[in-house]
Chains A and B, each alone.
Chain A
Amino acid sequence: MNAVSPIVKAASRAAGLDLRGVTKSFGSVDVLHGIDLSIAGGEFVVFVGPSGCGKSTLLRLIAGLEEVSAGAITIGGRDVTDLDPSRRGIAMVFQSYALYPHMSVAGNMGFGLKMAGRPAAEIAATIHAAADILHLTPLLDRRPGQLSGGQRQRVAIGRAIVRDPDVFLFDEPLSNLDAELRVEMRIEIARLHRKLGNTMIYVTHDQTEAMTLADTIVVLRAGRIEQVGAPARLYDDPDNLFVAGFIGSPKMNVLPARRVAGGVEIGGHVLAAPPLASAPPDGPAIQLGIRPEHLRPARSGEPSLPFTIEVTEFLGGTTWLYGKVAGDIPLVIEGLRGSTPVAGTRLAVTADPADMRLFDQAGTRLR
């Protein structure tokens, strides 16, 4: 019965979304500074960024809950900049669920259709199709107050599905759930995206959610887009130190370094470095980024950095070794499986040039 469900969208029919110079100020405070972004139909896009960077604001502008100060928003080729939220073809899932507490689960899900004056039979059919997808059928007569957090969030998602939107908007939908439930719901949302094929935009703080759910991650900082790209692209090929540091856990190591003939010099030790297409504009001082899992013990005779372990973190699958390198530059490396290093151990570590990322003093990537 799901196969013929009216709410399953063929990916080809899913609407894309375009933001052109979208700007938002609250009074004299500029929150978003000219956001340009194109989202393809059926894409799962995740907005990430530090708290207060404007993720929610951008989502609310797309939803139409806030008015843009300047710029235009098109959904499925239609300019929706001045349309009401209900006429933009969007549905939104709020962090706080925002269910109507006085209505049953079925009432919550069908409220939009009821307000639109659709026939009762159609409303019931749509509610049941959505409840079926989300395993909510046994709960349809309950009130939100009688549901667990996870169930409430499923109802909120169900309410969004029932609207049959072109674009789903999620604002940190899982952050009120406990860790285990969050993983469960994350998988459920991924499954939902696969099944419905709609465009989805998802705001989160959680790296894992961003990395696992997204086709495309948009990294925001202080109201500007820092980088847009697939999770692997942002991880492997960050445009700047901010993105490099934001994606990945533990963070990418950043070492102050100097470009010298034949490589980079860190605290007096020289490693081979990747070639640059052009010399950095502001002198030889640069910043060297290496992810913890790319650092390895050096073979004898290989150029390396002296590393002293201070703290080890055993996480089951991996062990993170925290310590100091080349004097007192903090560094994290991934421990080898099977070895049991102790604090105080000294290692000679190195990395392949292909795994090194160079940044200038301002944090912009050098390629």
Chain B
Amino acid sequence: MTRAAEPSLPDRARPRRSGIPLHAALFHLTAAVVAALFLAPIVLVVLASLRPASEAGAPPLPPWPTTGLSTESYGRLEAFGDGLLHYAGNSLFVALGTTILTILVSVLAGYGFSRFRFPMKKLAFVLILSTIMIPFQSILTPLFLILAKLGLQNTLTGLILLYATLQLPFSVFMMRNAFDAVPKEIEEAARVDGVTGLRMLVFVMGPLILPGIVSVGLFAFLNAWNEFLAALVLLTDQSRYTLPVLMNAVRSGRYGAVDWGAVQAGVTVMMIPCLLLFLTLQRFYIRGLTAGAVK
């Protein structure tokens, strides 16, 4: 409490009426509107899933419960076929399998394309990339026939192979870029330190390309988790259904009526792993891990 400090006190105590500048207010307003736009569907789906059974057959507008909350929709979902957990398990198996296979292959391929010299490397890379341009729906029939020949029709393993194949061109591209971003000298320093082959990939490169691996894995997981058409075509046995196919089956309720409640409950359940993944992994692909390596 020295004298010199006193003059600042009334200044600080004065209410800051004109404190928030206009552009800051506009910024916050815009951000709030955009956030609301993105959050609205999620909120509406969750609310709709909580409509009681009496409302289930009613038209979907308004989407929120009007006569009290109820979890009956989840009950009906659970009662379908082998139970919700079984189908969630199917989906999880397919999504995780696709993720692991995609990461394994794309990391190895990306490493090869980034660091090794081999004949027709450029051509091979362009060919891989060009398959992104082919809509996979157009090759669904031949893919189905190939899987049938391999005895993999109507199996989750077949679905994993299919998803991983579709996921790979983009993932290989991503991983090659991730490896390209790692300075060569780090690898050379590791070679001097006696690191070769797979240990180089795991101990030296691995941590540096982690953001790339996370991105590739996340995309693979989400795409496999949400994919509908191929699963619908490939899976005929009801006990093998993945969640999107289950949704389709649940939708067509008795006597042609659409069970909107169960569908919304299913969508809510399907959202959970996606949200969890994004929230836990987002920092990985934001953070630059190579900071401080060179220069």
Chain A residues proximal to chain B, CB less than 8 Å = 63-65, 84-87, 90-92, 94-102, 111-112, 115-116, 143-147, 149, 152, 159, 163, 176
Check if A101 sits within 8 Å of B208, measured CB to CB.
Answer: yes
Chain B residues proximal to chain A, CB less than 8 Å = 183, 185-186, 188-196, 199, 203-204, 207-208, 289-295
Check if A100 sits within 8 Å of B186, measured CB to CB.
Answer: yes
Check if A86 sits within 8 Å of B193, measured CB to CB.
Answer: yes
Chain A residues closer than 8 Å to B289, beta-carbon distance? 101-102
- A122: min CB distance to chain B, Å: 15
A145 CB contact (under 8 Å) in B194, B199, B291:
B291
Task: Tell whether A86 pairs with B194 under 8 Å between CB atoms, given A65-B188, A92-B189, A115-B203.
Answer: yes
Q: Ordered nearest first, which 9 A-B pairs have the shortest CB separation?
A: A145-B292, A86-B194, A112-B193, A98-B185, A96-B294, A144-B292, A102-B207, A101-B293, A98-B189
Q: In the complex, what distance in Å separates the CA atom of A343 from the CA atom of B258?
A: 99
- B123: min CB distance to chain A, Å: 19
Check if A115 sits within 8 Å of B199, measured CB to CB.
Answer: yes
Q: In the complex, what distance in Å separates the CA atom of A92 from the CA atom of B193?
A: 9
Check if B195 sits within 8 Å of A96, measured CB to CB.
Answer: no
B191 CB contact (under 8 Å) in A86, A144, A152:
A86
- B275: min CB distance to chain A, Å: 28
A101 CB contact (under 8 Å) in B191, B194, B203, B290:
B290
Task: Tell whether A115 pairs with B293 under 8 Å between CB atoms, given A100-B204, A102-B207, A102-B208.
Answer: no
Chain B residues closer than 8 Å to A100, beta-carbon distance? 186, 189-190, 204, 293
Check if B291 sits within 8 Å of A163, measured CB to CB.
Answer: no
Chain A residues closer than 8 Å to B204, beta-carbon distance? 100
Chain B residues closer than 8 Å to A102, beta-carbon distance? 207-208, 289
Q: In the complex, what distance in Å separates the CA atom of A275 from the CA atom of B73?
A: 110
- A94: min CB distance to chain B, Å: 5
Chain A residues closer than 8 Å to B193, beta-carbon distance? 86, 111-112, 115, 159, 163
Chain B residues closer than 8 Å to A111, beta-carbon distance? 190, 193, 195, 203
Check if B183 sits within 8 Å of A96, measured CB to CB.
Answer: yes
Task: Tell whether A65 pairs with B191 under 8 Å between CB atoms, given A98-B186, A102-B208.
Answer: yes
Task: Tell whether A84 pairs with B188 under 8 Å between CB atoms, given A100-B293, A152-B292.
Answer: no
Check if B290 sits within 8 Å of A84, measured CB to CB.
Answer: no
- A182: min CB distance to chain B, Å: 15
- A48: min CB distance to chain B, Å: 21
Q: In the complex, what distance in Å separates the CA atom of A147 from the CA atom of B185?
A: 19
Instruction: Name, among A63, A65, A101, the residue most crowded by chain B CB atoms within 10 Å (CB to CB).
Output: A101
Q: In the complex, what distance in Å separates the CA atom of A101 from the CA atom of B208?
A: 8
- A306: min CB distance to chain B, Å: 51
- A60: min CB distance to chain B, Å: 8
- A280: min CB distance to chain B, Å: 47
Using A99-B186, A102-B208, A111-B195 as known contacts, list a sample of 7 further A-B pairs with CB atoms less than 8 Å apart, ordered by residue number in A.
Answer: A96-B293, A96-B294, A97-B294, A102-B207, A115-B199, A116-B194, A163-B192
Q: In the complex, what distance in Å separates the CA atom of A275 from the CA atom of B295?
A: 52
Q: In the complex, what distance in Å separates the CA atom of A22 from the CA atom of B186?
A: 26
Chain A residues closer than 8 Å to B295, beta-carbon distance? 96-97, 149, 176
Check if B185 sits within 8 Å of A101, measured CB to CB.
Answer: no
Instruction: Name, among B192, B203, B207, the residue most crowded by chain A CB atoms within 10 Å (CB to CB).
Output: B192
